[in-house]
Structure 1
Amino acid sequence: MDLKPVIALSSLQAGMASALALVFATFWFFARERRRTLAEANTRLEARVATRTQALEIANRDLTREVTERLEAEARLKRVQADLVQAGKLSALGEMSAGISHELNQPLMAIRSFAENAQAFLERDNAAKAAENLGRISELARRMGRIIKNLRAFARQESETITNVELTAVVEAALEMTLGKVARAGVTLDWTPGEPVWVRGGEVRLQQVVMNLLSNAVDAMSDSPDKRIEIRISAGQAGVTPTRLTVADTGPGIAEPDKIFDPFYTTKEVGASEGMGLGLSISYGLIQSFGGRIRGANRAQEGHPPKGAIFTIELIPARLTAGLTLAQEADE
């Protein structure tokens, strides 16, 4: 028999088997290399993840510590600001002490005089005149009570709660406490109370701002021949326009309006009316805490006669709910 075809077929089969073995070996080699490469890559990735996780943990601890420090710093800042506001109020009361003493001493002397007159009229059986004198004593006592009430409210540490405040009453209370200083300086006051105007704010803190503006205006006009303070209120509309309170004087004006609210900036000379330059800075912070703003300018810039300064306070008008009285709304 001729074995060549069988040998050729066997050789072909052996070659194909060898080729298949080679292919399988190649696939196995590449598969093993791929697994090794993937294992190395996975190891490197795990190492990178561990490094990144450690870095993130360190960054998270640093961030947590920084947040804690900032919260503590913010709390300290609020305490310092509150103490500064209280110090500003007590400083204002100290500055106005002479005027307040006069405002209380004057009605006391009048009460004594009216009481003596009433006693004399009663001895003469003139009950009508005695009753008239007693009525005057009652009115003077009410006036003194209002002054003392305003002083006690102004001196206390007010909470930071923002409520509805009647702005006209705030101006009246501030004027009642600064009237002595205004009168002694020979300043004419141009102010006519109008309808109640309700805004968002704090009653005592708003009084502090108004008193500071009035005191600064009186000090600024010390050398002016014409001394006059004009106070105006322009009611706004809730959600549309702000309510504006303006205090204008006839002094020399503001030399540097851009710096007027900077801490420790003052134009007052050391002497009878010393100033540390904190009053307007405190006022700026208080008005901002109500969501409002305050600005100072020379009257010529605001379209007024070209002399003196004008300060404008813009406050958020109160949204009064139907069915509630103003007093109830203010309490809420």
Structure 2
Amino acid sequence: MRRAAPWLLGLLALVLLDRAADRLATGFALGELETASRAAAVLRLAVLRSEMEKQRSLPVILAQDPDLHRALETLAPERLRALDRKLQRLAEGTRTSVIYALDQSGLTVAASNWQEPTSFVGSDYAFRPYFRDAVANGAAEHFALGSVSNRPGLYISRRLDGAAGPVGVIVIKAEFAEVEEAWARLPEPVLTIDGRGIVTVTSVPEWHFRATLPLTPPARQAIRDSLQFGDTPLTDLMLDREQAPDGRWLARVRGAGAPLGGPFLPVTEVVPGIDWQLTLLAPVRPALEPVRVAARLGALSFGAVAIALLAWATRRRRRARQERAREQVLRLELEARVTARTAELRAANEGLRAEAEERQRAEAAVHRMRDELGQANRLAILGQITASVAHEINQPLAAIRTFADNAALFAERGDIASARKGLGTIASLTERIGAITGELRGFARKATSGEAPVGLRTAIDGALLLLGHRLRQQGIAVEVAVTGNPPVRAERVRLEQVLVNLVGNAIEALQDRADGRIRLEAAETGGRIRLTVSDNGPGLAETVRAALFMPFTTTKSAGLGLGLVISREILAGFGGTLEAPPTGLGACFVLELEKAG
């Protein structure tokens, strides 16, 4: 008995744990279901209110219509037939079931359905509450089953007053078939009930005009006598209440035309502006059963694991003395393994550290090689333009010699003004030589890694200065369409290297043209400067353009195919781009750089 007691206690604990898990899971699932159902009920209520408010505005507007007033005041046949057609167009335009006008006695004199077999024209509705209440109070609303159309709807009426008093009542009938169809496409049944508990609008067609509250025989007979719901039997549709384990009230549907059963979680919202309540019946089983099963399985699993652990702990205590020595041996073996594994991990860590350092050195070498490649490209370009720069310098030097000789002659003659003028010209020519050589020195030296605002027009002028002789030698016209000197985020030497590359390529492409032309055009878009370098040369073939920015792709017989690759990497380092879009004539390269703040 003593050995069985722990097992009996464990079984009792499992039962208690199962009940607690079931209760907690039920409360959680029903809480989540109520929150979701409340939101769903509010949405369905919004659909119903939208339809009702749309229809409520029509009588107010029609009550101001002069044609309607004149027709009811005179009851002239031609005015009433014109009113028929007007109401027909209005009903079709607003998707209203029917709009009709009653005279002072409650007789229908004009209706939007005047041409239909179920026309209301000639029908007497003086017995309807919406006529009596509208005459007495100015406006009324009444839900009923149509005596002619045999379709339910909400009748909204408004009295029309003339100079001598009331002249009639305008009535619109709002039907909710579209609302009910929209509700029916959703899984939860929805119904609205009036103050007496009669179902008015519902997603379940069999529930129309069922009584959800007990009706006494006199009350039931009074409703039938009023013809509000025609000859419908007003059978019961009761929502029987039952209490869930967490204390919430659930409902089961009972009565004629109640095929859904239950249980359901009822969520009720008041319909504003009318004595109705909207109730959404959320099915409980689909939401509750999976949660309950999962919780109970989890609780039982936890309890079983806990009991197993307790049994295991008990068994360990009984075997503790016999296992103590073996545990000591195992501990020593484990420490030895840990020591060996630690040594292996330390060696692996050292290897990884060495590999990381080697990778860092390799990356540094790659960066150095990239910088050296850019410098080599710059020096190669420099070699190409050396003759041009030498020619640029020779012309000012020859002019300096001539002006110096002339200044000496003027000085001997005592013409100091002419000598001074010649010396001034020599000084300006010297400044020009200094600008050319300074640009050449700046282009030749290795670029720094620092970035700063660089004037785009300044960089363009520097590149054109270096290539000026080649441009004039080939008779190439250069057009620079740059407004001002917009600053860009770059490094001047590298930017000039890119521009010299692109303009130099254009010069080579135009060497066989007598009307060569190069255009540099800048524009600002979205905080970036876009510079287009285009020429009217032979352009680029599609096969060449596809691989234009791949290393060693070139159309020159003596080229390496690295200039454009290096230019794109230089611009990428500034956060810019270089592309060669297709054009109809010549070649076109587009640079984009960030505008400097």
The aligned counterpart of 2:587 is: 309
* Residues 1:151 and 1:43: Cα distance change in structure 2 (over 3 Å): same
Aligned length: 282
Q: 2 CA distance for matches of 1:165 and 1:308?
A: 29
The aligned counterpart of 1:291 is: 575
Structure 1 residue 257, shift from structure 2 partner: 2.2
Q: 2 CA distance for matches of 1:172 and 1:52?
A: 67
From 530, 535, 538, the counterpart of 1:252: 538
From 552, 559, 566, the counterpart of 1:264: 552
Question: What SS does the corresponding residue of 1:297 show, helix, strand or coil?
Answer: coil
The aligned counterpart of 1:151 is: 440
Q: Deviations over 1:279-312 (max 9, x none)?
A: 11221221122222212233x2xxxxx1111112
Structure 1 residue 121, shift from structure 2 partner: 3.9
* Counterpart check, 1:190 vs 2:476: no
Question: What SS does the corresponding residue of 1:200 show, helix, strand or coil?
Answer: strand
- Of residues 276-285 and 139-148 in structure 1, the stretch that sits farther from structure 2 once superposed is 276-285
Q: 2 CA distance for matches of 1:48 and 1:220?
A: 73
Question: What SS does the corresponding residue of 1:226 show, helix, strand or coil?
Answer: coil
Structure 2 runs not aligned, ≥5 long? 1-314
Q: Deviations over 1:27-82 (max 9, x none)?
A: 86544466678668767765665565445334322321221111110111122122
From 482, 498, 501, the counterpart of 1:209: 498
Question: What SS does the corresponding residue of 1:56 show, helix, strand or coil?
Answer: helix
More helix by share: 1
The aligned counterpart of 1:101 is: 390
Q: 2 CA distance for matches of 1:50 and 1:43?
A: 11
- Of residues 202-211 and 80-89 in structure 1, the stretch that sits farther from structure 2 once superposed is 80-89
Q: Is the 8 A contact 2:381 2:501 kept in 1?
A: yes
Structure 1 residue 103, shift from structure 2 partner: 0.3
Q: 2 CA distance for matches of 1:27 and 1:204?
A: 79
Q: 2 CA distance for matches of 1:79 and 1:218?
A: 31
* Residues 1:172 and 1:40: Cα distance change in structure 2 (over 3 Å): same
**Structure 2 counterpart of 1:165, one-letter code:** V
Q: 1 CA distance for matches of 2:559 and 2:463?
A: 20
Q: Is the 8 A contact 1:162 1:201 kept in 2?
A: yes
Higher relative contact order (CA 8 A, sep 6+): 1
Q: How big is the alpha-carbon RMSD for the aligned residues of Structure 1 and Structure 2?
A: 2.7
From 366, 372, 391, the counterpart of 1:83: 372
Structure 1 residue 318, shift from structure 2 partner: 1.5
The aligned counterpart of 1:280 is: 564
Q: 2 CA distance for matches of 1:68 and 1:29?
A: 56
Q: 2 CA distance for matches of 1:57 and 1:85?
A: 42
Q: 2 CA distance for matches of 1:317 and 1:43?
A: 68
- Give the TM-score taking structure 2 as reference length: 0.44
Q: 2 CA distance for matches of 1:264 and 1:224?
A: 26
The aligned counterpart of 1:111 is: 400
Q: 2 CA distance for matches of 1:194 and 1:122?
A: 46
Question: What SS does the corresponding residue of 1:96 show, helix, strand or coil?
Answer: helix
Percentage of pairs with the same residue: 39
* Residues 1:40 and 1:233: Cα distance change in structure 2 (over 3 Å): farther
Question: What SS does the corresponding residue of 1:253 show, helix, strand or coil?
Answer: coil
Q: 2 CA distance for matches of 1:231 and 1:111?
A: 33
Q: Deviations over 1:87-111 (max 9, x none)?
A: 1121111111111111000111122
* Residues 1:28 and 1:102: Cα distance change in structure 2 (over 3 Å): closer
Q: 1 CA distance for matches of 2:577 and 2:560?
A: 22
Q: 1 CA distance for matches of 2:392 and 2:322?
A: 100
The aligned counterpart of 2:520 is: 231
* Residues 1:27 and 1:82: Cα distance change in structure 2 (over 3 Å): closer
* Residues 1:228 and 1:264: Cα distance change in structure 2 (over 3 Å): same
More strand by share: 2
Q: Is the 8 A contact 1:254 1:297 kept in 2?
A: no
Question: What SS does the corresponding residue of 2:580 show, helix, strand or coil?
Answer: strand
Question: What SS does the corresponding residue of 2:446 show, helix, strand or coil?
Answer: coil
Q: Deviations over 1:208-250 (max 9, x none)?
A: 11111111111112233531111122246xxx52122221111
Structure of greater Rg: 2
Q: 1 CA distance for matches of 2:316 and 2:390?
A: 105
The aligned counterpart of 2:160 is: none
The aligned counterpart of 1:21 is: none
* Residues 1:46 and 1:242: Cα distance change in structure 2 (over 3 Å): farther
